[in-house]
Amino acid sequence: MSGYLKVLSSISRSSAALSKNPAVLAPAATCQNLQQRNYADKRIKVAQPVVEMDGDEMTRIIWEFIKEKLILTNVDVELKYFDLGLPHRDQTDDQVTIDSALATKKYSVAVKCATITPDEARVEEFKLKKMWKSPNGTIRNILGGTVFREPIICKNIPRLVPGWTQPITIGRHAFGDQYRATDFVINQPGKFKISFIPADGSTGKE
């Protein structure tokens, strides 16, 4: 019993000493601060800003997680943020999409999350002012962009051509044409005409 009391007495004296002299704990705290500083110093410094285009629905949540947990812990970069979520595009009359594309032209690098291209159901769901065009199409038209399609190959998914062991990447121009087409409804019989008007003022063709 006396041995047990001695142990309690020793613990009590140690606790009292720590409470009166918090500096005893300083080395551990200092070590932790040094680790944090060293961690920050080891991040890769990016010289130029990167344009960040936020998206819709779950992509906003997933991207935020990836950015905070995987990117900003390893990369020191200034992000130029643009909210391309459908409600904000509607609020700004899609000006935010144009601004993000112009910023991309300025800084040359952008990361874009998936966005909703509204159809009639989405217009009703989000109570939109109008059926806004695809933000991807708008951005590509401003940049004169090209889309690259690259398949993801999984070992457990059979390929149509077993001998193809590397992904085939396809680049295509994805601006103009249907991306700049105008959709309208015709409610009576008539004729459609395609006309060409030369820039030099000479006679055109239909």
Q: How many CA atoms lie within 13 A of 103 on its CB side?
A: 20
Q: Does residue 116 register a pLDDT over 50?
A: yes
Q: Is residue 27 part of a domain?
A: no
- Per-residue pLDDT at 63 exceeds 80: yes
Structural domain includes residue 174: no
Q: Average pLDDT, stretch 93-120? A: 96
Segment 186-201 shows an average pLDDT of 90
Q: Is residue 195 part of a domain?
A: no
pLDDT digits (tens, 9 = 90+) for 8-54: 444 444 444 444 444 434 444 444 454 445 445 689 999 999 999 99
pLDDT of residue 165: 79
Among the residue ranges 15-24, 116-125, 132-141, 175-184, the one predicted with the least confidence is 15-24
**Domain containing residue 105:** 45-144
Q: What is the arithmetic mean of pLDDT over 45-70?
A: 96
Do the domain assignments include residue 80? yes
Number of structural domains, the chain? 1
Percentage of the chain modeled with pLDDT above 70: 75
């032209």: which residue's tokens? 105
| 146 band by pLDDT with thresholds 50, 70 and 90 | confident
- 104 within some domain: yes
The reply to whether 77 falls in a domain is yes
Average pLDDT (94-121) is 96
Is residue 172 in a domain? Answer: no
Residue 52 inside a domain? The answer is yes
**For position 95, what pLDDT does the model report?**
98
Decide which of 83 and 30 is more confident. Answer: 83
Question: DSSP letters of the chain?
Answer: -HHHHHHHHHHHHHHHHHHH-GGGGHHHHHHHHHHHHHHHHTSEEPSS-EEEEE-STHHHHHHHHHIIIIITTTEE--EEEEE--HHHHHHTTTHHHHHHHHHHHHHS-EEE-------HHHHHHHT-SS-PPPHHHHHHHHHT-EEEE-PPP-TTS--SSTT--SPPPEEEE-SSGGGG-------S-------B--TTS---B-
Please determine, for residue 80, whether its predicted confidence score (pLDDT) is greater than 90. Answer: yes
